[in-house]
Structure 1
């Protein structure tokens, strides 16, 4: 499989009020919109509670995206923030991906990590 091929997984931990996902490759805007819809569906039970929730995104295989695709991601993060998303832990060592997410994830508290363990500790800290 090419590193450019879009891949993803999504899960929700309702007890911890967290949505976890992995995403990789290079996405066209329509494919990203479908992924974001699936992500929203996974978060829907958390949003319906009306309580804060967090997200952990494993972007180690994710490529920097074009403007239309990154705008779709930004809009999804903003919508999540309006519906309870407070913290977003991003796992990625790619400087361009980190730069892109710093720009598009301004609606929530976002931090960047090199490992799932570090990201999980930060995500679950009180505060």
Structure 2
């Protein structure tokens, strides 16, 4: 399953994934994410996304393919940071992640530092 949290002040969507998912759940996840983005008042490509994969084991190929299609689809974030401590999960994510505006990390702190680096430089 998944949870989605919106932080309108930072234009941030945080998604936490738990357990094994189905392709249908992946589709529902992205529908719910798009609704959360709309509720924040963000335009397409204006928000940031942080994805917590620490509770998400390796997924079957159909699910991995569904994630790949969704990550490349409309409504994607300006920047996407994913994190998990599992080296196997990171290997799977690297295979499906083809976006130049996305990065994968071992910890949440590393993911957030990268995600907000441009904002910190702009404020300096």
Report the TM-score, using the length of structure 1 for normalisation: 0.78
Q: 1:51 to 1:22 in 2, by over 3 A?
A: closer
Q: Select the residue among 109, 112, 118 that pairs with 2:101.
A: 109
Distance change (3 Å), C-alpha of 1:31 and 1:48: same
- Supply the RMSD in Å over aligned alpha carbons: 2.2
Q: How does 1:1-40 map to 2 (within 5 A)?
A: 7-40=1-34
Matched residue, 1:126:
118
- The number of residues matched between the two structures is 119
| Structure with greater strand percent | 1
Consecutive unaligned residues of structure 1, counting only runs of 5 or more, are 1-6
Q: Which deviates further from its counterpart, 43-52 or 109-118?
A: 43-52
Of the three residues 31, 37, 62, the one matched with 1:43 is 37
Task: Point out the more displaced range, 29-38 or 62-71.
Answer: 29-38
Distance change in 2, residues 1:87/1:97 (3 Å): same
Check conservation: 1:52, 1:86, Cα contact below 8 A. Answer: yes
Distance 1:40 1:93 in 2: 27
Which secondary structure state, in structure 2, belongs to the residue aligned with residue 107 of structure 1? coil
Unaligned runs of 5+ in 2: 120-124
Q: Which residue of 2 aligns with 1:4?
A: none
Matched, 1:59 2:53: yes
Partner residue in 1 for 2:77? 85
